[in-house]
Structure 1
Amino acid sequence: MTPTIKDVAKKANVSIATVSRILNNQQGYSLKTKERVIEAIKDLGYQPNAIARGLINKRTQTLGILFPDVSSMFSSDILKGIEEIAHTKGHSVVVCHTDSSKKRMTKYLQVLNEKRVDGIIFTSEVITEDYYKIIEEMDVPVVLLATQSYRFPLPYVKVDDKHAAYSAVSYLIEKGHRNIGMISGPIEDEIAGRPRVEGYKQALEEHGITFDEKKLVITSGFYYETGTGMLSRLLKQDESITAVFAASDELAVSAMSNAFEMGIHVPNELSIIGYDNLKISQMAIPPLTTLAQPLYEMGKLGAELLLDMLETGKAVESRIVPHHIVERKTVKAYE
């Protein structure tokens, strides 16, 4: 028969209330009493929840995951990969939606500390000094996913954003396009914004094409809504554009919607390539050609590295994962 908290109390010769206080890390008992209760838990094999297990093996079998936007397709693909590995290794995950807010990020880091998570996967945002101080105090392994830090020594898993953007623009050039515009994410975003613009510019330069500021528009985010009207703005700045590189699939699909409103046929009159290879790229009409980063695989690899650090207590090497072009129906050779 499965042991109960009553059995633990009886074996340790304490009250049920005392066992409960110890399991919930509350006060009101001596160290000797706590040791006696933990010994009773071990002997009986009583494991009511992660807290009790953590008292015995110093682990809660729980990982904390921090996302700026849990509702996005980008986050869901990564989370599926994380959860697959975590579940296989007997861990659960606590997902936190920070909304790119410093206040919420700080709060959630404190919550994860209180819940005594074994490790943290930090995604898509910049690690600030304040965040790093809290992480250091928590003294748990951390893996960065789809982000990195030059300042702080934390392992990361990500695509080389500059190189990936370079590949997307080079693909358009190989298709014969020379007048290539870009719909960018926030330029102040040093993780995905600025590097993708730099990759765009470098591809132009190395193919003998002069960069023109009129061929670049900058949005406030990588989402569909932030791309609203950006294609029409771009074409007003330079009507000679024959192809557009959008810094995310959502921005690309927003541009396709804008093109439809303007009576512009994609790809016969305008080619568009996105970035990410989200499910929305397959569902778009026509299906979106895009630069794919392996989000699901990145989630799996990030979780594997974090669990390796937990098991071995040793640091792991950062990983740059490969990207590739997924050809669909929104890019046409320019003749």
Structure 2
Amino acid sequence: MVNPPTIKDVAKAAGVSVATVSRVLHNLAGYSDKTKQKVLAAVEELGYQPNAIARGLVNKRTQTIGVLFPDVSSSFSSDLLRGIEDVANDKGFSVIVCNTAEDGKRTMKYLQVLREKQVDGIVFTSEFLKEEYYEAIKAMGVPVVLVSTQSQKHVIPFVKVDDRQAAYQATDYLIQKGHRQIAMIGGTKTDKIAGIPRLEGYRQALEDNGIGFAESRVAYGDFALDSGRRAMEKLLAEAPPFTAVFAASDEMAIGAMGLALERGIRVPEDISVIGYDDLSIARMIFPPLTTIHQPLTEMGRLASDMLISLIEGAGQVSSRIVSHRLVERQTVRNWP
């Protein structure tokens, strides 16, 4: 069996030292353009593949990043991950994905796994950054970027939309369509990152339009499809009459629509529904879901780019509030 070419073979073929080859491969200074072209030509001719472990010994990096998701099976997570992986792969990094489960049941376990894997950085998504998580990441000594969440205690770069403003826009849209009796399917009741801000946006839009807020018209889920069904069932059984529903996630909106259909309630003829996220499934269902678009794949790209900049010591990065927009489809109608 033929042994794969080594860096020494490249150096010999190019007529330079091993140190020069290493400098060229790591984009360091100290050689002419002619020398660089000779080295790259030798690399291509020999089919030399730099060894990731050897690179790690030189730059003390493993070229891996860890990503923590509360639910890797959700469309929300897959859209974010697409963006994260796009940038990571372009920049020579591998991605380790961890499913922390609802309420962060396995977060500490996976932070320990990522520490053992010696990842170079972490993307932390969609969950409140508890103090124990922060301390564990701090002890690892690696940078972290937050996505669709932020820390109110620590200065950590984040990428997210303005959840309160986006929820306000969704509710105000229903009001401008003539709806006054508007229910809400909220996220986790104690969630300070998305659940509470989206409820506040809904409530503020009602109040600014002279509509009283009624706690009885709010039911809570966990952003997943089944919880939307349960919340809609509760609203139909217990809430005062309503003509429209704002759901704090597309999956909950779709779950609510499914339950309504089973009860013979037509969308949008009988009840209008607006969601939040603009997942691909929002375009596929019938009728297509009117929703708030947050650019999840672009958010993933931004987060990955920010993290790798921190890993490579390219300087400070700034947090980003990205733009949302309302996407009109077919689940909201003028009322009456």
Query: Partner amino acid for 1:287?
Result: P
Gaps of 5+ in 2: 10-17, 24-42
What displacement does 1:228 show? Answer: 2.1
Instruction: Give 3-state SS (helix, strand or coil) of 2:326's partner.
Output: strand
Deviations 1:70-128 (Å, cap 9, x if unpaired)?
A: 11100000000011111111111111111136552112112212222111100011111
The residue correspondences of 1:1-335 to structure 2 (distance < 5 A) are: 2-3=4-5, 49-100=51-102, 102=104, 104-219=106-221, 221-335=222-336
RMSD: 2.3
Letter in 2 for 1:301: L
Distance 1:125 1:203 in 2: 26
Aligned-pair identity in percent equals 55
In structure 2, do the counterparts of structure 1 residues 215 and 100 end up closer, same or farther at CA, with 3 Å as the change threshold? closer
Q: Is this contact kept in 1: 2:104–2:127, CA < 8 A?
A: no
Letter in 2 for 1:224: L
* CA shift for structure 1 position 313: 4.9
3-state SS of the aligned residue for 1:79? helix
Aligned-pair CA distance for 1:315: 2.6
For residue 301 of structure 1, report the CA deviation from its aligned partner.
0.6
Deviations 1:127-184 (A, max 9, x none): 1111111111111111000100011111100011111111100110111111100011
Runs of 4+ in 1 over 4 A off after TM superposition: 45-49
Q: How far did 1:50 drift?
A: 2.8
Q: Secondary structure at the match of 1:312?
A: coil
Amino acid at match of 2:299: M
Q: TM-score, normalised by structure 1?
A: 0.85
Q: Which residue of 1 aligns with 2:15?
A: none
Q: Which amino acid is the alignment partner of residue 106 of structure 2?
A: R
What is the CA-CA distance between 1:68 and the residue it aligns to? 0.8
Contact 1:42 1:56 survives alignment (8 Å): no
* Equivalent residues of 1:47, 1:53 under 8 A apart: no
Distance 2:293 2:275 in 1: 9
* Counterpart in the other structure of 1:20: none
Q: SS of 1:153's equivalent?
A: coil
TM-score when scaled to structure 2?
A: 0.84
Residue matched to 1:29: none
Task: Report the Cα distance in structure 2 between the residues aligned to 1:333 and 1:102, rounded to whole angstroms.
Answer: 41
The residue type paired with residue 150 of structure 2 is: Q
Alpha carbons of structure 1 residues 275 and 101: separation in structure 2 relative to 1, 3 Å? closer
State how far apart, in whole Å, the 1-side matches of 2:188 and 2:229 are: 15
Judge conservation of contact 2:217–2:240 (CA < 8 Å) in 1.
no
For 2:241 and 2:111, locate their aligned partners in 1 and report how far apart those are by CA, in whole Å: 49
Structure 1 residues 215-265: Cα deviation after superposition (integer angstroms, max 9, x where no partner): 11122x111111223223213333521110011111111111111111111
Deviations 1:25-53 (A, max 9, x none): xxxxxxxxxxxxx99x969x986643221
Report the secondary structure of 1:150's partner residue.
Answer: coil
8 A contact 1:68–1:99 mirrored in 2: yes
What is the count of residue pairs matched by the alignment? Answer: 303
